[in-house]
């Protein structure tokens, strides 16, 4: 079975992805826009009222993946798929709910 995140993408299209400017690498540079302060940056596409990270490929809830997964900034590391470590991640659950997707269950991990 594929990892549930590869069929989701909700977290990548729910909130602004803001991170410290020093995290910008060559791999990220083309996908980053300025934030409200000089010390921060945003992933492009997440700065508006209908966020969707430009690195997200595919359709939310169907087939989705991050083209920058190996180089993603710290906020992207902080969200874990619910139950991946045996516990619910409220950020994952909320993102899925905002896109009309059910919370992940144990059967999603089998």
Are 80 and 89 within 8 A, CB to CB?
yes
Sign of the torsion angle spanned by Cα atoms 80, 81, 87, 88:
positive
| pLDDT for residue 2 is more than 80 | no
Kindly state whether residue 34 falls inside one of the protein's structural domains: yes
Kindly state whether residue 77 falls inside one of the protein's structural domains: yes
85, two tokens: 């470590």
Rounded-to-integer distance, Cα 44 and Cα 40, Å = 13
**Is the entire prediction scored with pTM above 0.75?**
yes
Kindly state whether residue 26 falls inside one of the protein's structural domains: yes
Tens digit of each residue's pLDDT (9 = 90 or more) over 65-94: 999 999 999 999 999 999 999 999 999 999
Kindly state whether residue 110 falls inside one of the protein's structural domains: no
**Strand ranges inside 1-110, DSSP E:** 18-20, 32-34, 40-43, 56-59, 63-66
Kindly state whether residue 12 falls inside one of the protein's structural domains: yes
Average pLDDT of the segment spanning 60-67: 92
Tens digit of each residue's pLDDT (9 = 90 or more) over 95-108: 999 999 999 999 98
Kindly state whether residue 109 falls inside one of the protein's structural domains: no
Structural domain that includes position 9:
4-104
Per the structure, the count of domains in the chain is: 1
Kindly state whether residue 37 falls inside one of the protein's structural domains: yes
Kindly state whether residue 95 falls inside one of the protein's structural domains: yes
């Amino acid at each position: 079975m594929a990892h549930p995140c590869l069929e989701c993408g909700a977290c990548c299209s729910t909130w602004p992805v803001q991170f410290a400017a020093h995290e910008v690498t060559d791999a990220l540079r083309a996908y980053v826009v300025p934030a409200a302060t000089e010390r921060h940056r945003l992933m492009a596409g997440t700065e508006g009222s209908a966020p969707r990270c430009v690195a997200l490929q595919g359709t939310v809830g169907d087939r989705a993946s991050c083209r920058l997964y190996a180089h993603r900034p710290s906020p992207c590391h902080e969200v874990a798929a619910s139950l991946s470590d045996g516990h619910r991640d409220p950020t994952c659950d909320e993102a899925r709910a905002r896109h009309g997707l059910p919370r992940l269950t144990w059967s999603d991990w089998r």
